[in-house]
Amino acid sequence: MLRDEASVTDETRASHSGITVRIKKIGMHSRAIGTEELQDLLFERNKKL
């Protein structure tokens, strides 16, 4: 029983860290681009990933 709970926790952590990496990438690209229109397009594109 404990093994199952641990594996679910590990998968959840991996999922959250993957999302965090995507958010950081979006932030870096947004700062590099600078305009709101392009930021919106970038966000929509990355949202589909």
Mean predicted confidence (pLDDT) in 13-25: 58
| Separation of alpha carbons 9 and 3, rounded Å | 10
**Is the pLDDT assigned to residue 23 strictly greater than 70?**
no
Q: What angle do CA 31, 12, 22 make, to 5 degrees?
A: 15
The DSSP string of 1-49 is -HHHHHHHHHHHHHHHHHHHHHHHHHHHHHHHH--HHHHHHHHHHHHH-
To the question of pTM greater than 0.75 for the whole model, the response is: no
What is the rounded average pLDDT for all residues in the chain? 59
- Quick one: tokens of 41? 């397009």
| Separation of alpha carbons 19 and 12, rounded Å | 11
Sequence ranges of the domains in the chain: 2-48
Mean predicted confidence (pLDDT) in 33-37: 62
**Is the pLDDT assigned to residue 43 strictly greater than 70?**
yes
